[in-house]
Amino acid sequence: MNIIKITDINAPELDVFTRISEAQLFRYNEPETGIFLAESANVILRALEAGFEPLSMLVETGRMESEAGPVFEMIERLWGSEVLETIPVYTADRDIVCDLTGYTLVRGLWMTLRRKPPIPLDEFCCDKKRITVLFDVVNPTNVGAIIRSAAALGMEGAVLTRASVDPLTRRSSRVSMGTVFQIPWTKAEKEDSEGIALIGKLKGYGFKTVAMALTEDSTDPGNEEIRKNEKLAIVLGTEGTGLPKDVIDACDYRVMIPMHNGVDSLNVAAASAVMFWELGK
C-alpha cells in the first residue's frame, strides 16, 4: 500500500483534509462531480458499498489495523488490489493528526471520495411513491438525522432544495450513520427551489404533498386519507421558522403532531421520524 508518514503538516496534498472548506471540495479538481470527506470506518464502508470511488485516506497510526483494516479489505474487493496500492494513505500519531485537522477524528479515520453526478429531479421521482422534501434545512445534524429516519422507516428517497445542507458534508453523513449512501437523494435546481416551484413540480409528477406545519387546518399524522394516497411527498421546513406560508398553502395536506405539556413542536428531525413511522403502519 502507498502509506505516507506525515512529516510536514503544511504539505499541499493534505489540503483536502485541512485547509479546503467542504463547499470548495464540491468542485475541487473534479469540475463534473467534485469530492467529499467521509469520517469513521462505518461511514466510509457504506460509501464504498454504494460505489463511491476512494481517492485518499488520513489515518491515525494506532488505527491502521482496527479501523482502516476493514476499509482496505473492501477497497481491494470492490476496486481491486491495484487501486488499493495506489491510493495515498497519510498517517501520523494522534496528536499530530488532531493538530493537522483541528478535530479529534471519529475513530481516527478520514477518506476523500469522488462524488457521483447529480440525478435530475424528474428522473429521481419517476419510480418513487414515498419521498421526503427538505425545504431549506440548513442544519447538517438535522439533515443527517432526517435522512437516517427516512432510510430506516421506509421512505424511498429525499429531495433537498438548493439552500439545504449537502448530505455529504462530514457532519451530515456521520450523523446519518452513513445512510446518506443507502437511500437515494437529490438536490433541486435553483429555479425549482424558489417559492412554490418545487411543490408544483412534485404535483406534476403525481405526488400529493404534505406540509409539516402548525396551522388551524392541520390534521393528525395518522390520517387515513393521507396514507391511502399512492404517491406522497412529506415536506419539512428548517428548524425554527419552519416552512414558508406560500409553500404550506400550496401543499395538498397539512399535518401537525399533537403536543402535550405546553410544548409547541418537535425538532424537525424528530417530527420527520414520527411522520415516516405513521406512513409505514
Which segments of the chain are extended strands (E)? 2-5, 35-39, 54-60, 88-92, 109-114, 130-135, 157-160, 185-187, 208-212, 232-237, 253-255
Indicate the pTM of the whole model. 0.89
User: Could you give all domains of the chain from N- to C-terminal order, each with its CATH number?
Assistant: 2-114 (3.30.1330.30), 121-280 (3.40.1280.10)
C-alpha dihedral (78, 80, 82, 83), degrees to nearest 10: 0
Reading the chain (281 residues) residue by residue, the pLDDT tens digits are 899 988 777 777 778 887 777 777 766 555 566 889 998 899 999 999 999 999 999 988 888 888 899 999 999 999 999 999 999 999 887 777 666 666 554 557 889 999 998 899 999 999 999 999 999 999 999 999 999 999 999 999 999 999 999 999 988 999 999 999 999 999 999 999 999 999 999 999 999 999 998 888 888 888 899 999 999 999 999 887 889 999 999 999 999 888 889 888 889 999 999 999 999 88
